[in-house]
Amino acid sequence: MSDISVSSAVLGLVEYAAGKGLLEPADKTWAANGILRVLRLDSLETSAAAAALPLERLLEILLDDAVGRGVIPNTIVNRDLLDTAVMGVVTPRPSEVSRSFAAIYKKNPKDATDWFYRLCMDCNYIREYRLKKDMKWTYPSRYGEIEITINLAKPEKDPMDIAAALRSQKTGYPACQLCRENEGYAGRTDHPARQNLRIVPVDILGEPWGLQYSPYVYYNEHCIVLNDIHTPMAIDAACFRKLFDFLDKFPHYFVGSNADLPIVGGSILSHEHFQGGRHIFPIERAEIAEELPLPCNAEVSCGILTWPMATLRLRGSDSEKVARVANIILETWRGYDDAEAGILSNTNGTPHNTVTPIARRRGALYEMDIVLRNNRTTQEHPLGLFHPHQELHHIKKENIGLIEVMGLAILPPHLKKELQILGEAMLSGGDLRTPEISRHADWAEDILSRRQVTAENVGKVLREEVGAAFVKCLEHAGVFGQGESGEAAFRRFTQVLLEHISDSVQKSHGGV
């Protein structure tokens, strides 16, 4: 039990919100009463001193009290639903946020995103205290420093929450977790609460889109750019132009899109969206292994990137010309077959080839990385031929999406505990096939056969081996593979591509 009263915690939360600029002084009483309503309380000790505690602790006191009174079950999902409702009371209305953002943007786009990002943390949409628990390290691969994270900002549901979600009545509202209808939504056991979500309007090629931040912040200022309309993901000529239009508005950010096909795409293919932010990913630091001889009047350079996945990097001062070359790559790849390399563009009309595009500014230049993707499945690899193979699923089984493509591993929270238990078993000679760690047993035995593991280095060894496993995941997702055969397959494609680009330049009479 806490020695801080609920009244002190409520008043402390109100003072916190006022101190962060979320509330005006005249709104304090109104906000306190709103918090009481959410917590199903009908009185407040106005003489109580406002508790000057961190936000996490204030919310913990209120949630523990609600659990004790039977307001909510004591599960992660129910606690998150309630504390989001509490924070929704003190979060400025969407119209206020949009007006403030627009006013700051007129002076400086970077200042506008700085302000908006800070707001999302202050109102607890981004739970800073969870981000601090993330495990992060780098792995020195032959492709450069690869980034590894075990993300704890998105907690795994406990069995009670999973059971409740299965029992809940299904609804089509909001249509998905990226729809604008999420703004202010109370949530359910199978859908997160979003009372403190704020989305600012952004015009993309004349269409209404929105800009919000990810609550899980897989990297610095992890933002989501989403179409106001619930329409499927589409990688096409317009997609490349939309990415560059966003960069023109926010040149200090990168922006990219997941692929538009299952297995190689993201978790939500039903709603068009991009992801961006202010972070230098490993792929951005990757060097060009070979420049392709594009016609000089294309006014765009194109090179093969030194990267575990087949990637072409475009650069040019004219975004329209870069986008047009990107579209030639896409169209060439969409219809490309290479049976020797296992590449089939379609099976009975079902398409397999697509790309993952990533765009950024380098001074006056526009730069776009085009990562070739294929979502074929085979009997041997039912989850995807160009997907992490079975022997790596104990580390990474999920899709290799945009973030992973760029060299940042997002690994599940349970891996933190499993690696700890595994390390102890490796040191003690214990059973590697207990239920908690059996999935890692073969991997651990292989490590022990190759490396000397001691109490001093076991953590370092496991982190390095996780990094090596993730690099293999990326190599498995590469459509041409590595080595001489992979290089030869890539060259066969680029030869076809160069012919298509040359034909396009000739047709346009001096420009792409």
pLDDT given for residue 1 in this prediction: 53
| 161: pLDDT strictly greater than 60 | no
Please tell me the predicted confidence (pLDDT) of residue 164.
61
pLDDT value at 168 more than 90:
no
As a whole number, mean pLDDT of residues 35-56 equals 96
Mean pLDDT of 354-363: 97
Percent of the chain with pLDDT over 70: 96
pLDDT by residue (tens digit) across 21-39?
999 999 999 999 999 999 9
Q: What is the pLDDT of residue 152?
A: 83
Q: What does the pLDDT look like over 368-390, one tens digit per residue?
A: 999 999 999 999 999 999 999 99
Query: What is the structure's pLDDT at 32?
Result: 98
Percent of the chain with pLDDT over 90: 89
C-alpha distances (whole Å) from 389 to each of 381, 383, 392, 449, 476 are 7, 8, 6, 22, 7
What average pLDDT does the segment 496-510 reach?
A: 83
The token pair that represents 140 in the structure block: 């020195």
Check: CB of residue 411 under 8 Å from CB of residue 150.
Answer: yes
Q: Which of 474, 466, 456 is nearest to 416 (CA)?
A: 466
- pLDDT the model gives residue 295: 87
Distances, alpha carbon 235 to alpha carbons 203, 261, 266, 295, 337, in Å: 19, 9, 13, 25, 19
What is the per-residue pLDDT for 155?
65
pLDDT reported for residue 447: 98
Q: Tell me, what's the pLDDT at 296?
A: 77
Q: pLDDT at residue 506 above 80?
A: no
pLDDT tens-digit series, residues 326-358: 999 999 999 999 999 999 999 999 999 999 999
> Average pLDDT of 122-137?
94
What's the whole-number average pLDDT of the chain?
95
List pLDDT tens digits, range 239-280: 999 999 999 999 999 999 999 999 998 889 999 999 999 999
CA distances from 78 to 5, 71, 193, 245, 320 (A): 22, 10, 10, 40, 48
Mean pLDDT of 56-64: 98
Long-range contacts, 413-417 (Cβ 8 Å, 24+) = 413/150, 413/151, 413/152, 413/154, 413/155, 413/156, 414/156, 415/150, 415/466, 416/135, 416/150, 416/152
How far, in Å, CA of 315 to CA of 325, rounded?
10
| Tens-place pLDDT, residues 193-234 | 999 999 999 999 999 999 999 999 999 999 999 999 999 999
Residue linked to tokens 């908006």: 116
Task: For 301, list phi and psi in degrees, rounded to 5.
Answer: -100, 150
Q: Is residue 509 scored above 60 in pLDDT?
A: no
Question: pLDDT tens digit string along 477-501?
Answer: 999 998 999 999 999 999 999 999 9
pLDDT of residue 72: 97
